[in-house]
Chains A and B, each alone.
Chain A
Amino acid sequence: SQTIHQWPATLVQPVGSPLSLECTVEGTSNPNLYWYRQAAGRGLQLLFYSVGIGQISSEVPQNLSASRPQDRQFILSSKKLLLSDSGFYLCASSPTGTGNDYTFGSGTRLTVV
């Protein structure tokens, strides 16, 4: 079964600083990978998904970017954080070609101050 390692668990960053959140997956090869954000009092919004190395699809325009340098590594980045980037970020994976089995990381709570 898949296991997702996501870190850090909490992060406080000043406005204008860069961001890098990392997610790694174990127990599967060539997974589909996803980044979600949950803003305070709101639902889970899909930000990016990837079906392979270097293949990134963006779901919403924003201040963030994603990269997949290795098969089981997914990185969420920003060059300059905004206050509105605060939220709870979740990484998820699913076996390629299925769409019926998702595993989630434990999340990173980002506060931009």
Chain B
Amino acid sequence: AQSVTQLDSQVPVFEEAPVELRCNYSSSVSVYLFWYVQYPNQGLQLLLKYLSGSTLVKGINGFEAEFNKSQTSFHLRKPSVHISDTAEYFCAVSENKLIFGTGTRLQVFP
């Protein structure tokens, strides 16, 4: 069965610093991988997704993620964060349905 583990429940970081949010998945077949962002009191917004092809996926707002099949990981990165990046980030995996991780709260401090 598919599952997702987000290792960090909270990640504090200073503005303009780089950040990496970790995600590991488990699946018996090829999967699609996603990162979503949820700003306070709002719905979900798709940041990026991996379907096939290049393992480095670029998304919106300067985020990117790298698919690593051997390590079953799909970590999200941004080289320089802004205050406005403060939000909850969800990694998700899809075989025939979308399963989410428990989320990582990114808190950016000035």
- Residue positions of A touching B, CB distance < 8 A: 32, 34, 36, 42-46, 49, 90, 92, 94, 99-100, 102, 104-107
Contact = CB atoms under 8 A, between A and B. Distances in A.
B43 A43 contact: no
Given A43-B90, A99-B94, A100-B94, A106 B43 contact: yes
Contacts of B102: 42-43
Given A90-B44, A100-B51, A43 B95 contact: no
A99 B92 CA distance: 12
Task: Give the interface size class of chain B.
Answer: 10 to 19
Given A43-B102, A44-B100, 16 more contacts: A32-B97, A34-B98, A36-B100, A42-B102, A42-B103, A43-B90, A46-B99, A90-B43, A92-B98, A94-B98, A99-B94, A99-B96, A100-B51, A104-B43, A104-B44, A106-B43
A100 B32 contact: yes
Given A105-B43, A106-B43, A34 B94 contact: no
Interface in B72-101: 90, 94-101
